């Protein structure tokens, strides 16, 4: 299940954003009319850090096998919302949440939830590429080894297919044993995506995955995100409005801890109903 049908097209960084944007709007127009399976459902979700309330009654549905972009100015709560979905806020002292947040019906806020199992189902890619100080192979094999023991051949296959799914295999297949820190920034970030995929998640959370990358690497990651959508539910936080427009099917606009507006990316960017949303996506503030 870790291998998308169109597993490893040679990465074509020449694809221009406009081409993608056309593809996106076609896809989102299509998806607007048919009912979709909902993967993650938030209802009246509140979150606090100590006495500061970071999320105020967020109600949001995230469709399965679609890309959902969370946008909004810094401190608006979009990263907090992202980190609620894999409980990465747990170790922060004073962090707590109330309301409902479910993944295919499973309560993600429950005290009894097995966080290790949750994080196996919900992978995460961070702002800065953060490969381990290990070989490329060991980076990808790290997650699977945490949860199961593998025969060598199975692990090799898993690593290869995860790297293929992240469009990195062809570039690294001859140096799997060399350090991951020798890769370029864009390659490192694709390695981090391969590493997340290798665990076999249903959902991939991406927290500004391109903000530390140059435009060329950004284009390759964006193309990858579109391709991964076939198999994974993707939620991406981004400060880059064009990026949200290029990669996502649905966009949610956060402002000061509330969800201002949510809808198909096409509609949010061309015909937002809310004045604040319009100002933000058109670049008048934020």
Partner 1 sequence: MSNAAEISAAAVRAAAANRRGIARSRAARIGTERIIRGTLLACALMSIVTTFTILVILLAQSVSFFAMPQVSIWEFFTGTTWAPLLGEEKHFGIWPLIAGTLLVTSIAAAFALPVGLIVAVYLSEYAPSRVRSILKPILEVLAGIPTVVYGFFALAVITPFLHDHISESFGTFNALGAGLAVGIMILPIVASLSEDALRAVPRSLRDAAFAMGGTRFDVSAKVVVPAALSGIVASWLLAITRAIGETMIVALAAGGLARMTLNPADEVQTMTAYMVQIFTGDAPAYGIEYKSSFAVATVLFVITLALTMAGNLFLRAFREEYE
Question: Which positions touch partner 1 (CB under 8 A)?
Answer: 86, 88, 91, 115-120, 123-124, 126, 128, 130-134, 142-143, 146-147, 181, 192, 195-196, 199
Q: Which is nearer to partner 1, 78 or 119 (CB)?
A: 119
Q: If you compute the radius of gyration of the chain from its CA atoms, what whole number of angstroms results?
A: 18
Contact at 8 Å (CB) between 236 and 230? Answer: no
Tokens for 258? 């509330």
State the nearest-atom distance from the C-beta of 1 to partner 1, in Å: 17
Q: Which is nearer to partner 1, 187 or 265 (CB)?
A: 187
Q: Which is nearer to partner 1, 172 or 193 (CB)?
A: 193
State the nearest-atom distance from the C-beta of 119 to partner 1, in Å: 4
Exposure string over 205-242, b if 16+ CB within 10 A, otherwise e: bbbbbbebbeeebbbbbbbbbbbbbebbbbbbbbebbe
State the nearest-atom distance from the C-beta of 171 to partner 1, in Å: 21
Contact at 8 Å (CB) between 49 and 92? Answer: yes
Residues 6+ apart with CB under 8 A from 30: none
Q: Which is nearer to partner 1, 52 or 115 (CB)?
A: 115
State the nearest-atom distance from the C-beta of 85 to partner 1, in Å: 11
State the nearest-atom distance from the C-beta of 56 to partner 1, in Å: 25
Which H/E stretch holds residue 266?
helix 265-270
State the nearest-atom distance from the C-beta of 89 to partner 1, in Å: 11
Q: Which is nearer to partner 1, 26 or 146 (CB)?
A: 146
Q: Which is nearer to partner 1, 81 or 269 (CB)?
A: 81
Backbone angles phi, psi at 179, to 5 degrees: -65, 140
Q: Which is nearer to partner 1, 188 or 251 (CB)?
A: 188
State the nearest-atom distance from the C-beta of 41 to partner 1, in Å: 21
Q: CA nearest 136: which of 94, 176, 102?
A: 176
Q: What separation in angstroms does the CA of 209 have from each of 25, 82, 191, 226?
A: 22, 13, 12, 14
The size of the chain, in residues, is 286
What secondary structure, in 3-state letters, does 134-174 show?
A: CEHHHHHHHHHHHHCCCCHHHHHHHHHHHHHHCCCHHHHHH
Instruction: State the Cα–Cα distance between residues 80 and 53, nearest whole angstrom.
Output: 11
Q: Which is nearer to partner 1, 68 or 89 (CB)?
A: 89
State the nearest-atom distance from the C-beta of 64 to partner 1, in Å: 21
């Amino acid at each position: 299940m870790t291998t998308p049908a169109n597993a490893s097209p040679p990465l074509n960084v020449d694809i221009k954003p406009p081409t993608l944007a056309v593809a996106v709007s076609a896809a989102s127009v299509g998806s607007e009319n048919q009912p979709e399976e909902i993967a993650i459902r938030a209802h009246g979700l509140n979150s606090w850090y100590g006495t500061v309330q970071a999320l105020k009654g967020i109600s949001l549905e995230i469709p399965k096998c679609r890309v959902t972009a969370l946008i909004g100015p810094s401190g608006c709560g979009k990263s907090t919302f992202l980190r609620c979905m894999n409980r990465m806020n747990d170790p922060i002292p004073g962090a707590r949440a109330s309301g409902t947040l479910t993944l295919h019906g499973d309560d993600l806020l429950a005290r009894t939830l097995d966080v290790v199992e949750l994080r196996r189902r919900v992978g995460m890619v961070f702002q800065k590429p953060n490969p381990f100080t290990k070989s490329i192979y060991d980076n990808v094999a790290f997650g699977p080894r945490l949860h199961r023991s593998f025969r060598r051949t199975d692990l090799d296959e898993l690593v290869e297919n995860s790297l293929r799914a992240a469009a990195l295999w062809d570039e690294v297949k001859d140096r799997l044993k060399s350090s991951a820190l020798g890769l370029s920034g864009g390659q490192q970030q694709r390695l981090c995506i391969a590493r997340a995929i290798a665990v076999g998640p249903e959902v991939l959370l991406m927290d500004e995955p391109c903000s530390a990358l140059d435009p060329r690497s950004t284009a390759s990651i964006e193309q990858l995100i579109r391709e991964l959508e076939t198999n994974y539910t993707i939620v991406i936080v981004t400060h880059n409005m064009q990026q949200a427009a290029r990669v996502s099917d649905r966009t949610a606009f956060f402002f000061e801890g509330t969800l201002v507006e949510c809808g198909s990316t096409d509609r949010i960017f061309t015909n937002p109903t809310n004045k604040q949303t319009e100002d933000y996506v058109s670049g008048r503030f934020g």
